[in-house]
Amino acid sequence: MEPIRETLKRVVNAPAFSERYNDMRKEVLENPGVQKFLEDHAEEIDKSTVDRGMHKLYEYIDQSHDCNKCPSLEGCINHLKGFEPNLVLERNTIGIAYTACKSKNAYDNKRRASSLIHSMYMPKEVMQATLSGFELDDSRMEAFRAVGNFLDQATGPDDLPDKGLFLYGKFGIGKSYLLSAVANELAEMNVKSVLVFVPEFMREMKQAIGDQTLQEKVDYVKKADVLMLDDIGAEAMSSWTRDEVLGTILHYRMAEKLPTFMTSNFSYTELQHHLTYSQRGEKEDLKAARVMERIRALTEPVKLDGRNRRN
- pLDDT per residue as tens digits for the range 251-294: 999 999 999 999 999 999 999 999 998 777 778 899 999 999 99
Beta carbons of 250 and 260 less than 8 angstroms apart: yes
Per-residue pLDDT band at 225 (split at 50, 70, 90): very high
More confident residue, 182 or 283: 182
Residue 202 in 3-state DSSP? helix
pLDDT of residue 1: 45
Q: What is the dihedral of CA 113, 248, 170, 235, to 10 degrees?
A: 110
| Confidence (pLDDT) at 178 | 94
114 pLDDT higher than 60: no
Query: How many angstroms separate the CA atoms of 96 and 86, rounded?
Result: 5
Statement: residue 123 has pLDDT above 80: no
Q: Residue 95, class by beta-carbon neighbours within 10 Å (0-12 exposed, 13-18 middle, 19+ buried)?
A: middle
E-strand ranges in 115-264 read 117-120, 164-168, 193-197, 226-230, 260-264
Over range 181-201, report the average pLDDT: 92
**What are 59-104's pLDDT values in tens digits?**
999 999 999 999 898 899 999 999 999 999 998 899 999 999 998 8
208 or 46, greater pLDDT: 46
At 8 the pLDDT is: 46
| Nearest residue to 163 via CA among 269, 292, 249, 257 | 257
Confidence of residue 217 (pLDDT cuts 50, 70, 90): confident
Q: Which residue has the higher pLDDT, 207 or 103?
A: 103
Per-residue model confidence as pLDDT tens digits over 21-43: 788 888 889 999 999 999 999 99
CA distance 17 to 6: 15
Whole-angstrom Cα distance, residue 304 to residue 311?
A: 17
Delineate the domains of the chain, giving CATH numbers in brackets.
4-103 (no CATH), 116-303 (3.40.50.300)
**pLDDT the model gives residue 105:** 81
